Copies of this chain bind each other. A is one copy, B any other.
Amino acid sequence: MQSQTKKPRRTAERILDAALELLNRFGEPNVSTTLIASELGISPGNLYYHYPAKETLINALYERYEQALAERLGTAPDVDSLEAAWHFFQQLFEVAWQYRFLYRDLNDLLSKNRMLEARFQAALERKGRAVEAVVDGLVRAHAMTIAPAERAPLVQCLVVVASHWLNHEYARDPRHALEPERAEATLTRAVYHLLTLLQPYLGEPARQQLQARAPARPTAQLP
């Protein structure tokens, strides 16, 4: 991966890193290419040379997001225990966290960016199939049982919670919910709540494993 190369990071990558941080902090509508250039101490012309429009920059970040997501989704068929499912969804939420500006302003981004519109749909489909594979893996490993008719709607609801939990936290507390120091608690709460949707289908050992991972005050800050 680019960020692991031993050459000094190229300007194009430094721009992406700085842009991602600003976008996550202030939200897409509030971050201009001028702000990004000034944050990096480079001229707007230099930034423009690498990314001739804000959309180009957003799309490059989206490519990174998609690659990170694909890596995580690729591990879905290996899930064979509640612990492995926890790990899988934690990884998924970590990607969503790293690129939280995408989810936070998703609808607006989708309405004005055709590349994102098409690719995000495809990413959602892949996410749905991966979640299906996780459920099937748990069933195969006898960690859970579910009637065939209940599987598809459950998968949909898991995808909705996986995609929107962070937005829900943001709506509940816009000033703090997505601040970096909240990351760990927020992600643990996200994974735990998502997996409670599987709870009624889990066998006793898996159910106990899930309960052992319940956050100390799972809903203390929740409505």
Q: What is the copy number of this chain in the assembly? A: 2
Q: With A110-B174, A124-B171 as known contacts, state yes or no: A157 contacts B163, CB within 8 Å.
A: no
Which chain B positions have C-beta within 8 A of A27? 107-108, 111
Distance between A31 CB and nearest chain B CB, rounded to angstroms: 12
Most buried by B among A111, A168, A223: A223
Q: With A197-B157, A223-B124 as known contacts, state yes or no: A152 contacts B218, CB within 8 Å.
A: yes
Interface membership of chain A positions 94-112, coded 1 if the CB is closer than 8 angstroms to chain B and 0 otherwise: 0000000000111110110
Q: Are B105 and A108 in contact (CB under 8 A)?
A: yes
A90 CB within 8 Å of chain B: no
Q: Are B154 and A196 in contact (CB under 8 A)?
A: yes
Q: Are A171 and B163 in contact (CB under 8 A)?
A: yes
Contact residues on A (Cβ < 8 Å of other chain), bracket: 35 or more
Kindly specify which of A4-12, A15-23, A125-133 makes contact with the partner chain. Answer: A125-133
Which chain B positions have C-beta within 8 A of A156? 193, 219, 222
Q: Are B110 and A107 in contact (CB under 8 A)?
A: no
Tell which of B104, B117, B129, B223 touches A174, judged by Cβ atoms closer than 8 Å.
B117
Q: With A125-B223, A201-B200, A223-B159 as known contacts, state yes or no: A110 contacts B170, CB within 8 Å.
A: yes
Interface membership of chain A positions 30-45, coded 1 if the CB is closer than 8 angstroms to chain B and 0 otherwise: 1000000000000000
Distance between A104 CB and nearest chain B CB, rounded to angstroms: 4
A148 CB within 8 Å of chain B: no
Please measure, in the bound complex, the distance between the C-alpha atom of A172 and the C-alpha atom of B126, giving whole angstroms: 12
Please measure, in the bound complex, the distance between the C-alpha atom of A222 and the C-alpha atom of B70, giving whole angstroms: 19
Q: Are B107 and A171 in contact (CB under 8 A)?
A: yes
